[in-house]
Structure 1
Amino acid sequence: MSTAIVETARAARLASVSLQSVTAEQKNEALLKIKQVLSERREEIFKANEEDKKIAEELVKQGKLSSSLFKRLDVCQGDKFDTILSGVSDIAELPDPTKKVTLATKLDEGLDLYRITVPVGVLLTIFEARPEVVVNISCLALKSGNAVILKGGKEATHTNAALARVIQDALASLPFKDIPKEAVQIVETREDINALLDLDRYIDLVVPRGSNSLVKFIQNNTRIPVLGHADGICSVYIDKDADIEKAKKIVVDSKTNYTAACNSAETLLVNEALLQNGEFSKVAKVLLDAGVTLKCEENVLNFIKSVSDISDDDKQKKLQPAVEEDFYTEFLDLIMAVKTVSNVDDAVVHINEHGSKHTDAIVTEDEKTADYFMTRVDAAGCYWNASTRFADGFRYGFGAEVGVSTNKTHARGPVGLEGLVIYKYKLFGHGQGAGDYGSGKKQYKHETIDPSNYII
């Protein structure tokens, strides 16, 4: 194993220890300094991003890079960079998630137990494209008192390196030294990752953001806990009691707002009653008009072909027969798998079998049906009459997100600051021993006490 990689991990561990004593005010000062320096060195970052995009364009032409990954690469387009900067400010304004008392119990006179939120320690984050992740995760890590080691995709090597360099320079310029620049580090090669995945003595949590194969590889090759999701197979179910105008808007937004995102809907389930009364034709038409290719089961395919309002051109070019594998597929494109179900129970069964436990939505005006769906669908997010695209840490008010977790561990769904802290128990005594308590001896009180009594 490379000595340099071990030193990287060890430096991150030492930085994480130093971060334990940093105040909330110092964390916010560090974040605002990062925002300032990022803004001042915008052109340097854009130049690096243009270099990555130039290389990526050739890879797309050669079929070696998907168009969806290319879209995620660009930080120069529109107001994207300003949005990244705003995200830093948003994180700074959030409450510090550490040093919160979540349990306070008097075991006996002079023997008080507290449960306190603390940073996880050292995060290893592995992601593909999306160079803004460097900023988002670095700031979330620092705000929650964690050190972070970043590994981005090779398609964004220059941009990732530039962003990490700027962040480290910002930290190095702070007037206090409890947040060393080693609190944010970046590595570049697959070999580096393989080595880091063995360093469970230094690294506390791995957060992968990328393809199914990336996540599965990490899960299968480390003893370090992994927080993340392999797929984003999100579904929208249109119930027989749906408001069709709502359904049209929700389905189109869920599919087309940003097709490359993991919260984009890939499957559309339709109550068969909507084919019988013809109402589904309105939903099918707006999807086709939006450029979506529909991979349909035979009855849906035949129904859409019979709709006079849909052009023959769309019927020929944008309709395809579905196969079972389509309902297990994350397309990340203007493609959607469509099938009918008899009722909400069938929709729940389908989603729990085929979905990825990410985010699923129901469109209905029936409250009981909505409650049944949202209670029984086993996903990190269940929505009623709302687009799946809302599954995002920024939209949830987290400032940003470190990723989306479909795990059933300490964090689930979009993971913000609260997902980057764990807790420890602190016991304050006056010389007591466990042997002082028991039959015929002292008894525990187990009384709830005022959390504000905790003063350290």
Structure 2
Amino acid sequence: MGILLGIIKYKCVFGLVSRRSGMELLEICQRAKASKYKIQNLSTDQKNKALLVVADKLVENAADIIAANQKDYERGEKNGMHQGMLDRLKLDEKRIQAMAEGLKQVADLEDPIGTEIEHFDRPNGLHIKKVRVPLGVIGIIYESRPNVTADAFSLTFKSGNSVILKGGSDAIDSNIAITKVIRDALSEEGIDPDAVQLIEDTDRSVTTKFMQMNDYVDVLIPRGSARLIKAVVENSTIPVIETGTGNCHIYVDKDADFEKAIPIIINAKTQRIGVCNAAESLVVHEAVKDAFLPLFAKAMKEHNVEVRADKDSKAILTDAVDATEEDFGKEYLDYIISVKTVKDVDEAIEHINKYNTGHSESIITENQETADKFLSRVDAACVYHNVSTRFTDGFEFGFGAEIGISTQKLHARGPMGLKELTSYKYQIFGNGQVR
């Protein structure tokens, strides 16, 4: 009996759902709902101190986290995981340092909770304030990337929310190790560790049940493949903030500076192939294709990138593979890029709006009028002028970290930081008014 109680206590302390699933999932959701009222009442100083303690503990426990991650990585290799996904999965001391730095940056950010968005007075004397409040309990379903565990905690916690994490089986050992460090640190600070809980059960049926917990979870955020996001959107009874895939384009205009364009494309395509803000397609103006595409082909060859080109582009890119309709709408997450030649910026915009996923698009041009047209008419969360798409990132935007890149328009769009994890309420002040 004592051993059984010990096991139960262990699971409660570390917020892990056992393989028995059903009742444990309900309990973890109930604990999160109870926890949210405690977390939203923490002061800014309490939250910031806890974040800094967690950051230090992650670094102190890096060896344990890396050892757990190695189990996931070796399992991924054995199962034939794609190189891009393995890159997302891998943790080392540098990446753990980056995770810790992200928490410290979040601690330095302004606390959005309780801040006034606007105020106004009514003719009857009512004074009305609109203030930021937490969303409540946030559920996050994600794949492969264990750094999401720390990022999600830091942002949800600073914005006064509780979070339930449902990572994939690919990173389960890493996620358990990171969550244990976070919960231990919160307990040491006298803060309810149920501010962050991890569902350990990797069975898909548990994920489906989690999507139905609308009595306890206020918002659900999926991060991962198009298949995962589609499954959450179609099956969830909880409101979903959709973080989409990234079929990102770079358009090289007739007035482009080639010396800017080539390094930008190399960075956007090859710096990290397994991320949603990597470039997957090049669009080039027909007036410069003869001069530019040979330079592009040379750069791609040097970085072992396969080129798939349309008919007009292939006249120059003779070693390229014929591009199909599917290629233009594909997020490769691989050393592959599609190429499309267009007659002008209008056709470029039309092509991009047809095939993009609403994530990140960039134009390379020295013509400000052309750039302004592109920036205003391309339908995407982030639109760039003479910049790599790789900057679509909460850390790069100064948010400290991000909960994901929203490609929808309600209620958030682009990198989601602290403010995007809040709602608002109205506070109404009177002096005896009745209606």
The TM-score normalised by the length of structure 1 is: 0.88
For 1:198 and 1:431, how far apart are their aligned partners in 2?
Answer: 43
One-letter identity of the residue aligned with 1:180: D
For 2:226 and 2:329, how far apart are their aligned partners in 1?
Answer: 12
> Residue 142 of structure 1 corresponds to which residue in structure 2?
157
Decide whether the 8 Å contact of 1:73 with 1:131 is kept in 2. yes
> Residue 186 of structure 1 corresponds to which residue in structure 2?
198
Displacement after TM superposition at 1:246 (Å)? 0.7
With 161-170 and 48-57 compared, the bigger mean Cα shift is at: 48-57
Decide whether the 8 Å contact of 1:227 with 1:407 is kept in 2. yes
> Alignment RMSD, CA only?
1.3
Decide whether the 8 Å contact of 1:115 with 1:424 is kept in 2. yes
With 358-367 and 424-433 compared, the bigger mean Cα shift is at: 424-433
Displacement after TM superposition at 1:302 (Å)? 2.1
Displacement after TM superposition at 1:110 (Å)? 5.4
For 2:198 and 2:224, how far apart are their aligned partners in 1?
Answer: 17
The answer to whether the aligner puts 1:377 opposite 2:378 as a matched pair is yes
One-letter identity of the residue aligned with 1:67: Q
One-letter identity of the residue aligned with 2:50: A
CA offsets 1:60-112 (integer angstroms, 9 cap, x no match): 2xxxx222111111111x61111111111111111101111111112256521
Map 1:434-453; keep pairs closer than 5 Å.
434=435
Displacement after TM superposition at 1:40 (Å)? 2.2
Decide whether the 8 Å contact of 1:125 with 1:209 is kept in 2. yes
For 1:7 and 1:360, how far apart are their aligned partners in 2?
Answer: 43
> Residue 321 of structure 1 corresponds to which residue in structure 2?
322
Decide whether the 8 Å contact of 2:29 with 2:217 is kept in 1. yes
> Residue 10 of structure 2 corresponds to which residue in structure 1?
none
> Residue 283 of structure 1 corresponds to which residue in structure 2?
296
Decide whether the 8 Å contact of 2:184 with 2:193 is kept in 1. yes
The answer to whether the aligner puts 1:69 opposite 2:82 as a matched pair is no
One-letter identity of the residue aligned with 1:368: E
Map 1:396-435; keep pairs closer than 5 Å.
396-434=397-435
One-letter identity of the residue aligned with 1:181: P
The DSSP-based 3-state class of the residue aligned with 1:145 is coil
One-letter identity of the residue aligned with 1:145: G
CA offsets 1:318-371 (integer angstroms, 9 cap, x no match): x21111110010000110000100100001101111100000000000000000
Displacement after TM superposition at 1:429 (Å)? 2.1
For 2:237 and 2:274, how far apart are their aligned partners in 1?
Answer: 30
- Give the count of matched residue pairs: 413
> Residue 12 of structure 1 corresponds to which residue in structure 2?
32
For 1:345 and 1:423, how far apart are their aligned partners in 2?
Answer: 40
> Residue 307 of structure 2 corresponds to which residue in structure 1?
294
The DSSP-based 3-state class of the residue aligned with 1:411 is coil
> Residue 81 of structure 1 corresponds to which residue in structure 2?
96
Decide whether the 8 Å contact of 2:269 with 2:279 is kept in 1. yes
The DSSP-based 3-state class of the residue aligned with 1:254 is helix
CA offsets 1:40-60 (integer angstroms, 9 cap, x no match): 222221211112122122112
Larger radius of gyration: 1
> Residue 454 of structure 1 corresponds to which residue in structure 2?
none
The DSSP-based 3-state class of the residue aligned with 1:165 is helix
Runs of 4+ residues deviating >3 angstroms? none
For 1:402 and 1:147, how far apart are their aligned partners in 2?
Answer: 13
- Consecutive unaligned residues in structure 1, runs of 5 or more: 306-314, 435-456
Decide whether the 8 Å contact of 1:123 with 1:147 is kept in 2. yes
The answer to whether the aligner puts 1:257 opposite 2:271 as a matched pair is yes
The DSSP-based 3-state class of the residue aligned with 1:303 is coil
Map 1:151-230; keep pairs closer than 5 Å.
151-175=166-190, 179-188=191-200, 189=202, 190-230=204-244
Decide whether the 8 Å contact of 1:213 with 1:230 is kept in 2. no
For 1:356 and 1:198, how far apart are their aligned partners in 2?
Answer: 27
Decide whether the 8 Å contact of 2:222 with 2:228 is kept in 1. yes
Displacement after TM superposition at 1:284 (Å)? 2.3
- Consecutive unaligned residues in structure 2, runs of 5 or more: 1-20
For 1:279 and 1:380, how far apart are their aligned partners in 2?
Answer: 28
With 260-269 and 291-300 compared, the bigger mean Cα shift is at: 291-300
One-letter identity of the residue aligned with 2:88: R
One-letter identity of the residue aligned with 1:228: E
Map 1:126-137; keep pairs closer than 5 Å.
126-137=141-152
The DSSP-based 3-state class of the residue aligned with 2:424 is strand
CA offsets 1:188-216 (integer angstroms, 9 cap, x no match): 22222211211112111111110000000
Displacement after TM superposition at 1:229 (Å)? 2.7
> Residue 354 of structure 1 corresponds to which residue in structure 2?
355
The DSSP-based 3-state class of the residue aligned with 1:401 is coil
Decide whether the 8 Å contact of 1:301 with 1:321 is kept in 2. yes
The TM-score normalised by the length of structure 2 is: 0.92
With 295-304 and 242-251 compared, the bigger mean Cα shift is at: 295-304
> Residue 38 of structure 1 corresponds to which residue in structure 2?
58
> Residue 100 of structure 1 corresponds to which residue in structure 2?
115
One-letter identity of the residue aligned with 2:377: R
> Residue 13 of structure 2 corresponds to which residue in structure 1?
none
- What percent of counterpart residues are identical? 39
For 1:156 and 1:223, how far apart are their aligned partners in 2?
Answer: 26
Decide whether the 8 Å contact of 1:244 with 1:283 is kept in 2. no
